[in-house]
Structure 1
Amino acid sequence: MTYGKQVVMTCDVPPKRLSNLEERLITRFQQGMVIEIESPSYETRIAILKLKAKNCRHRIPEEIFTYIGENIKSSVRAMEGALNLIIRFMDANPEIEINQQIAHTLLKELAEDEVIIKRLSIDEIIKAVCSTYDVTYDDIKSNNRTQPLATARQVAMFLARKLTGNSTPTVANAFKRNHTTVVHGTQTIQKRIDVEIELKKTIEQITEQLGRKPSELFY
Protein backbone atom coordinates (compact mmCIF):
# COMPACT_ATOMS: atom_id res chain seq x y z
CA MET A 1 0.00 0.00 0.00
CA THR A 2 2.91 2.37 0.75
CA TYR A 3 4.13 2.06 -2.85
CA GLY A 4 0.72 2.53 -4.43
CA LYS A 5 0.33 -1.14 -5.33
CA GLN A 6 -2.95 -3.02 -5.17
CA VAL A 7 -3.23 -5.47 -2.30
CA VAL A 8 -5.81 -8.27 -2.18
CA MET A 9 -6.59 -9.67 1.26
CA THR A 10 -8.99 -12.42 2.26
CA CYS A 11 -10.65 -13.24 5.56
CA ASP A 12 -13.60 -15.23 6.85
CA VAL A 13 -15.16 -12.19 8.57
CA PRO A 14 -15.77 -8.55 7.55
CA PRO A 15 -13.05 -6.02 8.53
CA LYS A 16 -15.12 -4.59 11.41
CA ARG A 17 -15.24 -8.02 13.06
CA LEU A 18 -11.48 -8.51 13.06
CA SER A 19 -9.97 -8.69 16.53
CA ASN A 20 -6.44 -8.07 17.84
CA LEU A 21 -5.77 -5.47 15.14
CA GLU A 22 -5.19 -1.76 15.49
CA GLU A 23 -8.23 0.37 14.71
CA ARG A 24 -6.30 2.32 12.08
CA LEU A 25 -5.66 -0.89 10.13
CA ILE A 26 -9.30 -1.94 10.28
CA THR A 27 -10.33 1.53 9.08
CA ARG A 28 -7.80 1.28 6.25
CA PHE A 29 -9.23 -2.07 5.18
CA GLN A 30 -12.76 -0.67 5.22
CA GLN A 31 -11.71 2.13 2.90
CA GLY A 32 -10.94 -0.39 0.20
CA MET A 33 -13.39 -2.49 -1.80
CA VAL A 34 -14.92 -5.06 0.56
CA ILE A 35 -16.89 -7.81 -1.16
CA GLU A 36 -18.26 -11.16 -0.06
CA ILE A 37 -16.98 -14.19 -1.93
CA GLU A 38 -20.01 -16.43 -2.12
CA SER A 39 -19.85 -20.14 -1.46
CA PRO A 40 -19.69 -22.06 -4.75
CA SER A 41 -23.03 -23.18 -6.15
CA TYR A 42 -23.81 -26.86 -6.64
CA GLU A 43 -22.84 -26.66 -10.33
CA THR A 44 -19.55 -24.97 -9.44
CA ARG A 45 -18.79 -27.58 -6.76
CA ILE A 46 -19.23 -30.36 -9.32
CA ALA A 47 -16.96 -28.53 -11.79
CA ILE A 48 -14.29 -28.10 -9.08
CA LEU A 49 -14.43 -31.79 -8.18
CA LYS A 50 -14.08 -32.87 -11.80
CA LEU A 51 -11.14 -30.52 -12.28
CA LYS A 52 -9.44 -31.91 -9.16
CA ALA A 53 -10.02 -35.46 -10.42
CA LYS A 54 -8.70 -34.76 -13.91
CA ASN A 55 -5.32 -36.39 -13.28
CA CYS A 56 -6.74 -39.33 -11.35
CA ARG A 57 -5.94 -42.65 -13.06
CA HIS A 58 -9.33 -44.06 -12.05
CA ARG A 59 -12.67 -43.39 -13.68
CA ILE A 60 -14.79 -41.83 -10.99
CA PRO A 61 -18.54 -42.38 -11.57
CA GLU A 62 -20.77 -39.35 -11.97
CA GLU A 63 -22.79 -40.39 -8.92
CA ILE A 64 -19.71 -39.91 -6.72
CA PHE A 65 -19.23 -36.32 -7.88
CA THR A 66 -22.95 -35.75 -7.30
CA TYR A 67 -22.83 -37.25 -3.82
CA ILE A 68 -19.83 -35.17 -2.71
CA GLY A 69 -21.21 -32.03 -4.35
CA GLU A 70 -24.54 -32.39 -2.58
CA ASN A 71 -23.20 -33.25 0.85
CA ILE A 72 -19.77 -31.69 1.39
CA LYS A 73 -20.23 -27.93 1.21
CA SER A 74 -18.34 -26.41 4.13
CA SER A 75 -15.34 -25.52 1.96
CA VAL A 76 -13.45 -26.45 -1.20
CA ARG A 77 -10.80 -28.02 1.04
CA ALA A 78 -13.43 -30.27 2.60
CA MET A 79 -14.60 -31.36 -0.86
CA GLU A 80 -11.03 -32.03 -1.95
CA GLY A 81 -10.45 -34.06 1.22
CA ALA A 82 -13.54 -36.15 0.49
CA LEU A 83 -12.46 -36.72 -3.10
CA ASN A 84 -8.95 -37.72 -2.00
CA LEU A 85 -10.45 -40.24 0.42
CA ILE A 86 -12.42 -41.78 -2.44
CA ILE A 87 -9.32 -41.91 -4.65
CA ARG A 88 -7.23 -43.54 -1.90
CA PHE A 89 -9.92 -46.18 -1.48
CA MET A 90 -9.89 -46.86 -5.22
CA ASP A 91 -6.09 -47.11 -5.17
CA ALA A 92 -6.18 -49.64 -2.33
CA ASN A 93 -9.13 -51.63 -3.69
CA PRO A 94 -8.87 -51.73 -7.50
CA GLU A 95 -11.10 -54.80 -7.65
CA ILE A 96 -14.03 -52.98 -6.02
CA GLU A 97 -16.26 -50.72 -8.11
CA ILE A 98 -16.89 -47.55 -6.15
CA ASN A 99 -20.53 -46.53 -5.73
CA GLN A 100 -22.63 -44.14 -3.70
CA GLN A 101 -23.14 -46.59 -0.83
CA ILE A 102 -19.39 -47.05 -0.40
CA ALA A 103 -18.87 -43.29 -0.67
CA HIS A 104 -21.43 -42.73 2.08
CA THR A 105 -19.63 -45.17 4.38
CA LEU A 106 -16.23 -43.60 3.67
CA LEU A 107 -17.34 -40.02 4.08
CA LYS A 108 -19.18 -40.70 7.35
CA GLU A 109 -15.74 -41.23 8.87
CA LEU A 110 -14.44 -37.79 7.95
CA ALA A 111 -13.41 -35.36 10.67
CA GLU A 112 -16.24 -33.52 12.41
CA ASP A 113 -15.87 -30.42 10.26
CA GLU A 114 -16.25 -32.52 7.12
CA VAL A 115 -19.25 -34.63 8.08
CA ILE A 116 -22.14 -35.16 5.72
CA ILE A 117 -24.38 -32.11 5.89
CA LYS A 118 -28.13 -32.33 5.49
CA ARG A 119 -29.09 -30.84 2.14
CA LEU A 120 -31.79 -28.23 2.56
CA SER A 121 -34.15 -26.72 0.05
CA ILE A 122 -35.12 -23.06 -0.02
CA ASP A 123 -38.74 -24.09 0.58
CA GLU A 124 -37.78 -25.90 3.80
CA ILE A 125 -36.06 -22.77 5.05
CA ILE A 126 -38.99 -20.51 4.15
CA LYS A 127 -41.43 -22.82 5.98
CA ALA A 128 -39.22 -22.88 9.10
CA VAL A 129 -38.99 -19.09 9.10
CA CYS A 130 -42.76 -18.79 8.58
CA SER A 131 -43.37 -21.00 11.61
CA THR A 132 -41.02 -18.95 13.80
CA TYR A 133 -42.34 -15.54 12.75
CA ASP A 134 -45.99 -16.63 12.43
CA VAL A 135 -46.31 -15.51 8.81
CA THR A 136 -47.44 -17.43 5.74
CA TYR A 137 -45.48 -18.78 2.79
CA ASP A 138 -47.34 -16.37 0.50
CA ASP A 139 -46.50 -13.48 2.84
CA ILE A 140 -42.78 -14.17 2.43
CA LYS A 141 -43.06 -13.98 -1.35
CA SER A 142 -45.37 -10.96 -1.35
CA ASN A 143 -44.38 -7.30 -1.72
CA ASN A 144 -45.56 -6.46 1.81
CA ARG A 145 -42.71 -4.67 3.61
CA THR A 146 -44.30 -4.22 7.04
CA GLN A 147 -42.65 -5.61 10.15
CA PRO A 148 -42.08 -8.31 11.27
CA LEU A 149 -42.67 -9.66 7.77
CA ALA A 150 -39.78 -7.73 6.20
CA THR A 151 -37.37 -9.13 8.79
CA ALA A 152 -38.73 -12.66 8.33
CA ARG A 153 -38.21 -12.39 4.57
CA GLN A 154 -34.62 -11.16 4.97
CA VAL A 155 -33.87 -13.89 7.52
CA ALA A 156 -35.14 -16.49 5.06
CA MET A 157 -32.95 -15.02 2.30
CA PHE A 158 -29.94 -14.98 4.63
CA LEU A 159 -30.44 -18.63 5.63
CA ALA A 160 -31.08 -19.67 2.04
CA ARG A 161 -27.75 -18.18 0.99
CA LYS A 162 -25.85 -19.63 3.93
CA LEU A 163 -27.35 -23.12 4.17
CA THR A 164 -28.38 -24.29 0.70
CA GLY A 165 -25.30 -23.59 -1.38
CA ASN A 166 -27.52 -21.97 -4.01
CA SER A 167 -26.26 -18.91 -5.86
CA THR A 168 -27.72 -15.45 -5.26
CA PRO A 169 -29.64 -15.49 -8.59
CA THR A 170 -31.22 -18.84 -7.65
CA VAL A 171 -32.28 -17.52 -4.24
CA ALA A 172 -33.59 -14.34 -5.85
CA ASN A 173 -35.72 -16.36 -8.25
CA ALA A 174 -37.14 -18.46 -5.39
CA PHE A 175 -38.20 -15.32 -3.53
CA LYS A 176 -39.45 -13.58 -6.69
CA ARG A 177 -36.90 -10.83 -6.12
CA ASN A 178 -33.89 -9.50 -7.99
CA HIS A 179 -30.21 -10.10 -7.24
CA THR A 180 -29.74 -6.71 -5.57
CA THR A 181 -32.63 -7.26 -3.15
CA VAL A 182 -31.21 -10.58 -1.95
CA VAL A 183 -27.72 -9.12 -1.51
CA HIS A 184 -29.17 -6.19 0.45
CA GLY A 185 -31.33 -8.49 2.56
CA THR A 186 -28.52 -10.86 3.50
CA GLN A 187 -26.12 -8.01 4.26
CA THR A 188 -28.75 -6.30 6.42
CA ILE A 189 -29.25 -9.42 8.52
CA GLN A 190 -25.49 -9.96 8.80
CA LYS A 191 -25.09 -6.42 10.18
CA ARG A 192 -28.03 -6.78 12.56
CA ILE A 193 -26.72 -10.09 13.90
CA ASP A 194 -23.59 -8.29 15.06
CA VAL A 195 -25.58 -6.00 17.35
CA GLU A 196 -28.96 -7.67 17.99
CA ILE A 197 -28.53 -10.62 20.34
CA GLU A 198 -32.17 -11.71 20.21
CA LEU A 199 -32.21 -11.78 16.41
CA LYS A 200 -29.03 -13.84 16.40
CA LYS A 201 -30.57 -16.32 18.87
CA THR A 202 -33.72 -16.61 16.76
CA ILE A 203 -31.70 -17.33 13.62
CA GLU A 204 -29.57 -19.90 15.46
CA GLN A 205 -32.73 -21.64 16.73
CA ILE A 206 -34.17 -21.82 13.22
CA THR A 207 -30.86 -23.22 11.96
CA GLU A 208 -30.88 -25.94 14.63
CA GLN A 209 -34.52 -26.78 13.84
CA LEU A 210 -33.40 -27.35 10.25
CA GLY A 211 -30.79 -29.85 11.45
CA ARG A 212 -27.78 -27.62 10.84
CA LYS A 213 -25.15 -25.98 13.04
CA PRO A 214 -25.27 -22.23 13.77
CA SER A 215 -21.49 -22.14 13.24
CA GLU A 216 -22.17 -22.60 9.51
CA LEU A 217 -23.67 -19.11 9.42
CA PHE A 218 -20.63 -17.26 10.64
CA TYR A 219 -17.66 -18.66 8.71
Structure 2
Amino acid sequence: MSSRERILGRVRRALADVPPDDTPYEEAVPRAYLREHGGLDTGATVDLLAENLADYRAVVHRCTAGDLAATLAGMLAARGARTVLVPPGLDPAWLAEVRAEQVPDLASSTPHELDRVDSVVTGCAVAVAETGTIVLDGGPDQGRRRITLVPDHHICVVRVPEQVVSSVPQALGRLDPARPLTWISGPSATSDIELDRVEGVHGPRTLEVVLVSGQGSSAVTS
Protein backbone atom coordinates (compact mmCIF):
# COMPACT_ATOMS: atom_id res chain seq x y z
CA MET A 1 0.00 0.00 0.00
CA SER A 2 1.37 3.39 -0.99
CA SER A 3 1.48 6.43 1.30
CA ARG A 4 -1.21 8.06 -0.83
CA GLU A 5 -3.56 5.09 -0.44
CA ARG A 6 -2.87 4.98 3.31
CA ILE A 7 -3.74 8.67 3.77
CA LEU A 8 -6.87 8.46 1.63
CA GLY A 9 -7.97 5.41 3.62
CA ARG A 10 -7.66 7.35 6.86
CA VAL A 11 -9.71 10.22 5.36
CA ARG A 12 -12.45 7.81 4.28
CA ARG A 13 -12.58 6.24 7.75
CA ALA A 14 -12.77 9.66 9.39
CA LEU A 15 -15.69 10.63 7.15
CA ALA A 16 -17.54 7.32 7.46
CA ASP A 17 -20.22 8.69 9.83
CA VAL A 18 -20.84 11.91 7.88
CA PRO A 19 -24.32 11.83 6.25
CA PRO A 20 -24.22 11.99 2.44
CA ASP A 21 -26.52 15.03 2.49
CA ASP A 22 -24.49 16.95 5.08
CA THR A 23 -23.92 20.67 4.43
CA PRO A 24 -20.96 21.22 2.07
CA TYR A 25 -17.84 22.54 3.76
CA GLU A 26 -17.89 25.87 1.93
CA GLU A 27 -21.45 26.48 3.21
CA ALA A 28 -21.07 25.07 6.72
CA VAL A 29 -19.83 28.28 8.36
CA PRO A 30 -21.44 31.67 7.69
CA ARG A 31 -18.85 34.15 6.49
CA ALA A 32 -20.62 37.49 6.75
CA TYR A 33 -17.36 39.30 7.41
CA LEU A 34 -17.04 43.09 7.37
CA ARG A 35 -15.39 44.24 4.15
CA GLU A 36 -14.16 47.48 5.70
CA HIS A 37 -14.05 49.25 9.06
CA GLY A 38 -15.71 52.65 9.11
CA GLY A 39 -16.58 54.68 6.08
CA LEU A 40 -13.64 56.87 5.14
CA ASP A 41 -13.94 58.98 2.02
CA THR A 42 -11.42 58.88 -0.82
CA GLY A 43 -9.01 61.44 0.60
CA ALA A 44 -9.04 59.96 4.10
CA THR A 45 -8.45 56.45 2.73
CA VAL A 46 -5.42 57.57 0.75
CA ASP A 47 -4.14 59.50 3.79
CA LEU A 48 -4.51 56.35 5.90
CA LEU A 49 -2.51 54.39 3.32
CA ALA A 50 0.27 56.99 3.40
CA GLU A 51 0.30 56.99 7.21
CA ASN A 52 0.53 53.21 7.49
CA LEU A 53 3.17 52.95 4.76
CA ALA A 54 5.30 55.45 6.68
CA ASP A 55 4.65 53.55 9.92
CA TYR A 56 6.27 50.54 8.24
CA ARG A 57 9.29 52.74 7.38
CA ALA A 58 8.50 53.08 3.71
CA VAL A 59 9.31 56.50 2.24
CA VAL A 60 6.14 58.01 0.81
CA HIS A 61 5.98 60.56 -2.01
CA ARG A 62 2.96 62.21 -3.58
CA CYS A 63 2.73 63.76 -7.02
CA THR A 64 0.44 64.27 -9.98
CA ALA A 65 0.60 62.19 -13.15
CA GLY A 66 2.21 65.12 -14.93
CA ASP A 67 5.00 65.31 -12.35
CA LEU A 68 5.65 61.56 -12.11
CA ALA A 69 8.59 61.44 -14.55
CA ALA A 70 10.38 64.29 -12.79
CA THR A 71 9.59 62.80 -9.37
CA LEU A 72 11.06 59.40 -10.28
CA ALA A 73 14.10 60.98 -11.88
CA GLY A 74 14.71 63.06 -8.75
CA MET A 75 14.33 60.05 -6.45
CA LEU A 76 16.81 57.96 -8.44
CA ALA A 77 19.26 60.84 -8.67
CA ALA A 78 19.05 61.44 -4.92
CA ARG A 79 19.74 57.76 -4.39
CA GLY A 80 22.75 57.93 -6.71
CA ALA A 81 21.34 55.09 -8.79
CA ARG A 82 23.39 54.36 -11.89
CA THR A 83 21.21 51.43 -13.03
CA VAL A 84 17.46 50.87 -12.73
CA LEU A 85 15.65 47.62 -13.44
CA VAL A 86 12.55 48.06 -15.61
CA PRO A 87 9.64 45.60 -16.01
CA PRO A 88 8.62 45.00 -19.65
CA GLY A 89 5.22 46.67 -19.33
CA LEU A 90 6.23 49.77 -17.40
CA ASP A 91 5.05 52.97 -19.08
CA PRO A 92 8.18 54.43 -20.78
CA ALA A 93 6.94 57.93 -19.98
CA TRP A 94 7.48 57.25 -16.27
CA LEU A 95 11.25 57.05 -16.79
CA ALA A 96 11.52 59.62 -19.59
CA GLU A 97 13.67 61.94 -17.45
CA VAL A 98 15.78 59.26 -15.75
CA ARG A 99 19.50 59.41 -16.56
CA ALA A 100 20.41 56.06 -15.03
CA GLU A 101 20.95 53.09 -17.32
CA GLN A 102 17.69 51.17 -17.74
CA VAL A 103 18.14 47.40 -17.34
CA PRO A 104 15.40 45.15 -18.81
CA ASP A 105 13.80 42.35 -16.81
CA LEU A 106 15.28 39.28 -18.50
CA ALA A 107 14.56 35.64 -17.68
CA SER A 108 18.27 34.91 -18.15
CA SER A 109 19.40 37.39 -15.46
CA THR A 110 21.22 35.70 -12.58
CA PRO A 111 20.75 36.63 -8.90
CA HIS A 112 24.25 38.13 -8.93
CA GLU A 113 23.35 40.34 -11.90
CA LEU A 114 20.15 41.47 -10.21
CA ASP A 115 22.06 42.19 -7.01
CA ARG A 116 24.31 44.61 -8.89
CA VAL A 117 21.32 46.71 -10.00
CA ASP A 118 20.95 49.86 -7.90
CA SER A 119 17.15 50.30 -8.05
CA VAL A 120 13.94 48.84 -9.50
CA VAL A 121 10.79 50.74 -10.44
CA THR A 122 7.44 48.96 -10.67
CA GLY A 123 3.73 49.54 -10.58
CA CYS A 124 1.45 47.50 -8.32
CA ALA A 125 -1.82 45.57 -8.45
CA VAL A 126 -3.49 47.12 -5.41
CA ALA A 127 -2.67 48.94 -2.15
CA VAL A 128 -4.44 48.33 1.18
CA ALA A 129 -4.94 51.42 3.33
CA GLU A 130 -5.79 49.71 6.64
CA THR A 131 -2.60 47.66 6.65
CA GLY A 132 -0.22 49.85 4.62
CA THR A 133 0.35 46.95 2.23
CA ILE A 134 1.32 46.99 -1.45
CA VAL A 135 0.38 43.91 -3.48
CA LEU A 136 2.19 42.85 -6.65
CA ASP A 137 0.79 40.17 -8.96
CA GLY A 138 3.49 39.88 -11.60
CA GLY A 139 1.62 42.11 -14.05
CA PRO A 140 3.41 43.69 -17.03
CA ASP A 141 4.35 46.83 -15.08
CA GLN A 142 5.62 44.76 -12.12
CA GLY A 143 7.71 42.03 -13.72
CA ARG A 144 8.95 38.85 -12.14
CA ARG A 145 8.78 38.53 -8.35
CA ARG A 146 12.57 38.23 -8.03
CA ILE A 147 13.21 41.74 -9.40
CA THR A 148 11.49 43.20 -6.34
CA LEU A 149 13.28 40.89 -3.92
CA VAL A 150 16.94 41.02 -4.96
CA PRO A 151 17.77 44.72 -5.67
CA ASP A 152 18.28 46.77 -2.52
CA HIS A 153 16.02 49.69 -3.51
CA HIS A 154 12.43 49.38 -4.73
CA ILE A 155 10.30 52.27 -5.98
CA CYS A 156 6.64 51.30 -6.31
CA VAL A 157 4.13 53.54 -8.06
CA VAL A 158 0.51 53.42 -6.84
CA ARG A 159 -2.20 55.05 -8.95
CA VAL A 160 -4.45 57.07 -6.64
CA PRO A 161 -7.27 56.47 -6.05
CA GLU A 162 -8.14 53.60 -8.40
CA GLN A 163 -5.53 51.17 -7.03
CA VAL A 164 -6.27 51.97 -3.37
CA VAL A 165 -8.75 49.95 -1.29
CA SER A 166 -9.64 50.21 2.37
CA SER A 167 -9.22 46.62 3.50
CA VAL A 168 -7.71 43.22 2.80
CA PRO A 169 -11.09 41.64 1.85
CA GLN A 170 -11.52 44.33 -0.81
CA ALA A 171 -8.00 43.69 -2.08
CA LEU A 172 -8.65 39.95 -2.32
CA GLY A 173 -11.71 40.66 -4.41
CA ARG A 174 -9.50 42.33 -7.01
CA LEU A 175 -6.73 39.76 -7.09
CA ASP A 176 -6.39 36.51 -9.01
CA PRO A 177 -5.21 33.79 -6.58
CA ALA A 178 -3.62 31.91 -9.48
CA ARG A 179 -1.12 34.73 -10.02
CA PRO A 180 2.19 35.06 -8.08
CA LEU A 181 1.12 37.47 -5.35
CA THR A 182 3.68 39.38 -3.30
CA TRP A 183 2.39 41.30 -0.27
CA ILE A 184 4.74 44.08 0.83
CA SER A 185 4.40 45.95 4.12
CA GLY A 186 7.44 48.19 4.31
CA PRO A 187 11.07 47.32 3.59
CA SER A 188 12.26 43.78 4.22
CA ALA A 189 13.17 43.43 7.89
CA THR A 190 13.52 41.02 10.77
CA SER A 191 14.62 41.18 14.40
CA ASP A 192 16.32 38.84 16.84
CA ILE A 193 15.21 37.85 20.34
CA GLU A 194 16.46 41.20 21.66
CA LEU A 195 14.34 43.00 19.02
CA ASP A 196 17.37 44.41 17.18
CA ARG A 197 15.92 45.27 13.77
CA VAL A 198 17.85 44.30 10.63
CA GLU A 199 16.60 45.50 7.25
CA GLY A 200 17.22 44.05 3.80
CA VAL A 201 17.21 40.41 4.91
CA HIS A 202 14.92 38.87 2.30
CA GLY A 203 14.06 41.82 0.10
CA PRO A 204 14.84 45.51 -0.51
CA ARG A 205 16.43 47.45 2.32
CA THR A 206 14.64 50.60 1.12
CA LEU A 207 11.05 50.86 -0.13
CA GLU A 208 9.80 54.11 -1.63
CA VAL A 209 6.15 54.45 -2.62
CA VAL A 210 4.88 57.11 -5.01
CA LEU A 211 1.18 57.92 -4.71
CA VAL A 212 0.40 59.42 -8.09
CA SER A 213 -2.93 61.15 -8.65
CA GLY A 214 -4.68 62.18 -11.82
CA GLN A 215 -4.88 58.77 -13.52
CA GLY A 216 -8.16 56.90 -13.79
CA SER A 217 -11.45 56.90 -11.89
CA SER A 218 -12.36 58.34 -8.50
CA ALA A 219 -13.60 55.16 -6.79
CA VAL A 220 -11.59 53.87 -3.84
CA THR A 221 -13.33 50.70 -2.71
CA SER A 222 -14.27 47.71 -4.80
More strand by share: 2
Bigger relative contact order, structure 1 or 2, given CA contacts below 8 A and separation 6+?
A: 2
**What is the TM-score with the length of structure 2 in the denominator?**
0.24
More helix by share: 1
